[in-house]
């Protein structure tokens, strides 16, 4: 079997859903938690992860991306988690594309990125902000999520 980005995307999609599910079990006030910047609370971090996942997929598909609204409560976060699952599934399908440079216009600037760069960034971005969200929760006393439970080793064990 050839090594590919598929395993990384599968892990990302799994970890996203598991962590969103645990966070959604917290009280609604947990969405206001932040680590250092009150302008970037958990509600915005989790919205940002889901919107960005769709944005990366849309770039690869040559489509406009949807910008999601911040969840006002945990019920809305569960809806965002469903959108995130759909966006992550889109990325998983796109991993089969031939790796080539594509044109991306971002903030009025034109860039040329390899498809694999965009997919790798999607994985990195998700990890970065999951850690950010959990750190913000921990900074405000919410200890529901242990990130060690959602590493790649944990993902592989979940498949057995």
Q: What is the per-residue pLDDT across 116-141, written as a single tens digit (0 to 9) for each? A: 999 999 999 999 999 999 999 999 99
Q: Among candidates 122, 63, 43, 131, which has minimal Cα distance to 89? A: 122
For the stretch 55-83, pLDDT in tens is: 999 999 999 899 999 999 999 999 999 99
List the beta bridge partners of residue 114.
101
How does pLDDT run across 144-156, given as a tens digit for each residue?
Answer: 999 999 999 999 9
Question: Which distant-in-sequence residues (6+ apart) come within 8 Å of 104 by Cβ?
Answer: 59, 110, 111, 112, 113, 118
102 within 8 A of 59, measured Cβ to Cβ: yes
Instruction: Compute the half-sphere exposure of residue 29: CA atoms within 13 Å on the CB side of its CA.
Output: 3
* Cα–Cα dist 140/89, whole Å: 32
| Residue 94 confidence (pLDDT) | 95
pLDDT at 45 over 90: yes
Q: Using a CB cutoff of 8 Å and minimum separation of 24, what contacts does 9-12 make?
A: 9/88, 9/91, 9/92, 9/95, 9/119, 9/122, 9/123, 10/92, 10/155, 11/123, 11/152, 11/155, 12/88, 12/91, 12/122, 12/123, 12/126, 12/127
Summarize the confidence of residues 107-115 as an average pLDDT.
Answer: 94
Which residues contact residue 88 at a Cβ distance below 8 angstroms, ignoring those fewer than 6 apart? 9, 12, 13, 16, 53
Query: Which position has the higher pLDDT, 3 or 109?
Result: 109
| Burial (CB count within 10 angstroms: exposed 0-12, middle 13-18, buried 19+), residue 26 | middle
Q: What is the pTM of this model?
A: 0.94
pLDDT the model gives residue 1: 63
């Amino acid at each position: 079997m050839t090594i590919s980005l598929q395993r990384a995307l599968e892990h990302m999609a799994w970890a996203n859903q598991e962590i969103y599910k645990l966070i959604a079990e917290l009280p609604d006030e947990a969405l206001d938690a932040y680590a250092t910047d009150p302008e970037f609370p958990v509600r915005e971090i989790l919205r940002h992860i889901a919107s960005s996942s769709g944005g990366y997929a849309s770039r690869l598909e040559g489509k406009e991306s949807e910008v999601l609204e911040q969840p006002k409560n945990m019920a809305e976060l569960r809806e965002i988690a469903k959108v995130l699952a759909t966006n992550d599934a889109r990325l998983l399908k796109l991993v089969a594309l031939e790796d080539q440079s594509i044109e991306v216009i971002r903030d009025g600037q034109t860039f040329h990125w390899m498809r694999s760069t965009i997919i790798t960034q999607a994985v990195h971005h998700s990890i970065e902000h999951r850690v950010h969200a959990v750190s913000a929760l921990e900074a405000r006393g919410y200890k529901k999520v242990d990130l060690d439970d959602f590493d790649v080793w944990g993902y592989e064990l979940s498949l057995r």
